[in-house]
Amino acid sequence: MQDFTYQNPTRVHFGAGQIAKVRDEIPADARVLVTYGGGSIKRNGVMDQIESALEGREWWSFGGIEPNPSYHTLLEALDVIKREKIDFLLAVGGGSVADGSKFLALAACHAGDPWEILAEGKHPQTALPLGVVLTLPATGSESNGNAVVTNYETHDKLPMFSELAYPRFAVLDPATTLTLPERQSVNGVVDAFIHVSEQYLTYPVNAPVQDRFSEGLLMTLIEEGPKVLSQPDDLAVRANIMWAANLGLNGLIGRGVPQDWATHMIGHEITALHGVDHGRTLTIVMPALWEELFEAKRAKLAQYGRRVWALEGDDESVARDAIVKTREFFTRMGAPVSLSEAGISADSIDKLVENLTRHGFTAIGEHGDITPDVARRILTRAA
């Protein structure tokens, strides 16, 4: 196992009725901005619960943060923060609202051009405090310091990380996810599955605790994921998926082990260029990446095949079959496993690789050996 430092500062309130806890979490004299997306929270009763929790408090709201949050929309929210002297952010929604609000938490305290935060990694010394009420289990954003923001004018979808961006608290009430459209439920399951894979499916470093945690999460997602299609109103299923997605990217399983993240970096380019939902870009890229990097990942693929899929045989065949099983799982969930299934022609591959290079992602993966040429081969396999 590799050495590491671990702290997750986000307090999680999980379960029915927990949105009321927002009241205890936010100081009584705070000037709060509630950020949200396209309006799902107004249709499913979540906003009503927020209004009750904040009754008598000073608060404003900013809606319209879109999936894959737009930098320019966030600048409008930044104006509200400055004008109203906001000193606490409450993000209510999925990963996009949480991510956008993390960027705002930093941007509100940044003296220079906010774009520097994303493009140059220039971060302020402080950030506004943030809480998250999660309505879409997928990203783990509610309990981590990551955010991804898109500049639609330039097709730049850029990730950032800051210790300052961890939410102070996160509310996870599975009932809020019962109104998710099937497509978004699927996106969440496969995104969470691939977060675990990015931290697990690399090479062995004698880290059995991390491996067993990851295998448990993958098995849970394989068992529970299809149930959101067959029994979408089952609250117990929703709860299990919500907790699995949180643990998939709250930092725990990734400590002390190598991490890949190349599927994500390539996937972000597909979203930036073609607008494909985040989770669906990953199901296209990851099996092809595993095939291309087969030798480097063979030992872990074989372990995964045996423990998660109960496959038997020699390493080579178990590892190959594990990739087949993974593709079948994504297909069963209704997620695409090729660019063509997502309506993207192979003609795009050059542009995708060019954008990856322009963003500086020229040596990615756990060994830093996914160069633009390797990325092109992965995308060609995924065509």
Give the C-alpha separation, 301 to 56, whole Å.
Answer: 55
Return d(Cα 69, Cα 47) in angstroms, integer: 20
140 contacts ligand NZQ (rule: CB under 6 A)? yes
Residue 93, phi then psi, degrees to nearest 5 = 155, -150
In sequence order, which residues have a C-beta less than 8 Å from that of residue 138 and are 6 or more positions away? 94, 95, 187, 188, 189, 191, 192, 245, 278, 279
Measured CA angle at 191 (ends 90, 170), to 5 deg: 25
- Minimum CB distance to ligand NZQ smaller for 189 or for 319: 189
Which partner from the list ligand NZQ, Zn ion, none does 176 bind, CB cut-off 5 to 8 Å by kind? ligand NZQ
Identified binder of ligand NZQ from the candidate list 10, 101, 146, 185, rule CB under 6 A: 146
Q: Is 61 in the site for ligand NZQ (CB under 6 A)?
A: no
Mark the segment that binds ligand NZQ (CB under 6 A) among 33-41, 111-119, 311-319, 335-343: 33-41
Query: Which tokens hold the place of 7?
Result: 């702290």
**Amino acid type, 169:** F
Q: Report DSSP letters for 215-281, one per residue.
A: HHHHHHHHHHTTHHHH-TT-HHHHHHHHHHHHHHTSSTTTTTS----HHHHHHHHHHHHH---HHHH
Binding mask 138-177 for Zn ion (x = CB under 5 A): ----------------------------------------
Q: What's the closest the beta carbon of residue 333 comes to ligand NZQ, in angstroms?
A: 14
Q: Does 335 bind ligand NZQ (CB under 6 A)?
A: no
Our CB check for ligand NZQ shows the closer of 33 and 319 to be 33
Rg over CA atoms, the chain: 20
Binding mask 6-25 for ligand NZQ (x = CB under 6 A): --------------------
CA distances from 298 to 53, 106, 121, 323 (A): 51, 41, 34, 11
Binding segment for ligand NZQ (CB under 6 A), chosen from 35-43, 52-60, 211-219, 315-323, is 35-43
Name residues contacting ligand NZQ, limited to 63-102 (CB under 6 A). 67-68, 93-97, 99
Buried b (16+ CB within 10 A) or exposed e, 134-159: bbbbbbbbbbbbbbbbbbeeebbbbb
**Does 139 participate in binding ligand NZQ (rule CB under 6 A)?**
yes
Cα separation of 381 and 170, whole Å?
A: 39
Please tell me whether residue 355 binds ligand NZQ under the rule CB under 6 A: no
Cβ atoms within 10 Å of 205's Cβ, excluding its own:
13
- CA-CA distance, 323 to 132, in Å (whole number)? 35
Separation between Cα atoms, residue 327 and residue 287, nearest integer Å = 7
Question: Which C-beta is closer to Zn ion: that of 82 or that of 183?
Answer: 183
User: Coil, helix or strand for 328?
Assistant: helix
Strand ordering across the sheet containing 169-172: 11-14, 169-172, 130-134, 88-93, 31-36, 58-62
138 binds, among Zn ion, ligand NZQ, none (CB under 5 to 8 A by kind): ligand NZQ
Per CB under 6 A, 165 contacts ligand NZQ:
no
- Give 341's contacts (C-beta < 8 A, 6+ positions apart): 284
Residues 189-218 that bind Zn ion (CB under 5 A): 191
Minimal distance, residue 292 CB to ligand NZQ, in Å: 21
Selected from 30, 170, 189, 249, the binder of ligand NZQ by CB under 6 A is 249
Query: Considering only residues 8, 61, 151, 179, which one is a binding residue for ligand NZQ as defined by CB under 6 A?
Result: 179
Interacting span for Zn ion (CB under 5 A) from 52-60, 183-191, 234-242, 310-318: 183-191
Under the criterion CB under 6 A, does residue 151 sit at the interface with ligand NZQ?
no
Least distance from C-beta 233 to ligand NZQ, angstroms? 13
How many residues in the shown chain lie near Zn ion by CB under 5 A?
Answer: 1
Which residues sit at the interface with ligand NZQ, rule CB under 6 A? 37-41, 44, 67-68, 93-97, 99, 135-136, 138-141, 144, 146-148, 176-177, 179-180, 184, 187-188, 191, 249, 264, 278
Residues that bind Zn ion (CB under 5 A): 191
